[in-house]
């Protein structure tokens, strides 16, 4: 499937990592911004044709109007995604439990690329698709991080465990969810960072499904700092994802 990408950073990532997937680039009208100038240079190196685009409906200052036609990035198998995981070595992967908003999906891929996540899992059904908007929000994150799109999340979690990963659910209600379920729960800042983790992020409306939680080795929450409890008790899915990845990416003390 071909996508029309309009963020120069997402286009540049495609040109650098998958130049054969870029069919054409339409430069913005007027003087290009530094980001679009880098795109044009990369397109020249990759022998990607430049096509004149129709005039944009806003001033031709180079800040918009450019786009590129790029083939969507194919998913990999779960075996490929989890390859290289070792039980006693740190590493981060993500699994998404019914993320519905393409902008959240794109932001999660951007988080993943920033924190060195090694792969993202989301199901083909009941999940937001990787549209052009998701690619553009990700700012190159989709190109940098491989993804798998199985039909069943539970089977994917089982495959991750077989590959040596530990599964970590995330919920603002982690303490309550862990009670009586046999699933240990606590703060994201107390998670053992020496393990390879598949971090499971819940959907925007209801978070993790109960059956997903039951398949996790642990469940964690993001506690506010002491004395910093505000009136809002939850975070947007992509924001929470970034905060949890930051907590898990801290260097080990000592």
Tens-place pLDDT, residues 132-155: 999 999 999 999 999 999 999 999
pLDDT average, residue stretch 201-213: 90
* Domain termination residue (choose one: 71, 96, 111): 71
Specify if 125 maps to a domain. Answer: yes
How far apart, in whole angstroms, are the C-alpha atoms of residue 210 and residue 170?
12
Residues 108 and 51 in one domain: no
- Place 63 in a pLDDT band, splitting at 50, 70 and 90: very low
Backbone torsion region of residue 156, taken as left when φ is above 0, otherwise alpha when ψ lies between -120 and 50, otherwise beta: alpha
How far apart, in whole angstroms, are the C-alpha atoms of residue 134 and residue 110?
10
Q: What is the CATH number of the domain that holds 56?
A: 3.30.1330.30
* Domain termination residue (choose one: 53, 71, 89): 71
Residues 100 and 53 in one domain: no
Specify if 150 maps to a domain. Answer: yes
Specify if 121 maps to a domain. Answer: yes
Q: What is the DSSP letter of 115?
A: T
Specify if 83 maps to a domain. Answer: yes
Q: What is the CATH number of the domain that holds 167?
A: 3.40.1280.10
Residues 197 and 84 in one domain: yes
pLDDT of residue 141: 98
pLDDT average, residue stretch 231-245: 89
pLDDT of residue 190: 92
Residues 26 and 149 in one domain: no
Q: How many domains does the chain have?
A: 2
Whole-number Cα distances in Å, 213 to 18, 76, 167, 189? 36, 25, 9, 19
How far apart, in whole angstroms, are the C-alpha atoms of residue 237 and residue 184?
22
How far apart, in whole angstroms, are the C-alpha atoms of residue 95 and residue 98?
10
Whether 96 and 108 have beta carbons less than 8 Å apart is answered as yes
Specify if 220 maps to a domain. Answer: yes
Residues 172 and 190 in one domain: yes
Specify if 141 maps to a domain. Answer: yes
* Domain termination residue (choose one: 25, 40, 71): 71
pTM: 0.91
Backbone angles phi, psi at 188, to 5 degrees: -60, -25
Residues 231 and 109 in one domain: yes
Residues 198 and 123 in one domain: yes
Residues 100 and 59 in one domain: no
Specify if 254 maps to a domain. Answer: no
Whether 155 and 190 have beta carbons less than 8 Å apart is answered as no
Helix (H, G, I), strand (E, B) or coil at 148: strand
Specify if 34 maps to a domain. Answer: yes
40-62 confidence digits (pLDDT tens): 999 999 999 999 865 555 444 44
Residues 56 and 85 in one domain: no
Pairing label, strands 120-122, 91-97: parallel
How far apart, in whole angstroms, are the C-alpha atoms of residue 155 and residue 162?
11
Whether 198 and 94 have beta carbons less than 8 Å apart is answered as yes
Question: What's the residue count for the chain?
Answer: 254
Residues 203 and 92 in one domain: yes
Residues 33 and 91 in one domain: no
Q: Domain range for residue 119?
A: 78-248
pLDDT average, residue stretch 195-216: 92
């Amino acid at each position: 499937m071909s996508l029309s990408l309009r963020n120069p950073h997402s286009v540049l990532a495609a040109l650098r990592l998958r130049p054969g997937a870029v069919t054409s680039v339409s430069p913005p009208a007027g003087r290009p911004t530094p980001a679009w100038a880098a795109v044009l240079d990369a397109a020249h190196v990759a022998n990607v044709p430049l096509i004149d685009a129709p005039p944009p409906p806003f001033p031709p200052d180079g800040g918009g109007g450019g786009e590129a036609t790029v083939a969507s990035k194919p998913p990999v198998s779960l075996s490929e995604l989890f390859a290289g995981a070792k039980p006693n070595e740190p590493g981060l992967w993500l699994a998404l439990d019914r993320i519905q908003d393409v902008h959240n999906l794109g932001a999660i891929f951007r988080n993943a690329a920033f924190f060195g996540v090694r792969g993202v899992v989301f199901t083909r059904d009941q999940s937001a698709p990787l549209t052009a908007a998701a690619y553009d929000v990700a700012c190159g994150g989709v190109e940098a991080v491989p993804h798998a799109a199985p039909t069943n999340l539970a089977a994917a979690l089982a495959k991750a465990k077989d590959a040596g990963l530990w599964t970590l659910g995330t919920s603002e209600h982690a303490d309550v969810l862990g009670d009586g379920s046999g699933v240990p729960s606590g703060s994201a800042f107390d998670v053992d960072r020496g393990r390879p983790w598949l971090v499971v992020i819940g959907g925007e409306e209801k978070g993790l499904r109960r059956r997903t939680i039951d398949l996790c080795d642990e469940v964690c929450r993001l506690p506010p700092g002491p004395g910093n409890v505000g009136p809002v008790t939850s975070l947007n899915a992509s924001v929470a994802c970034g905060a949890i990845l930051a907590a898990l990416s801290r260097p080990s003390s000592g």
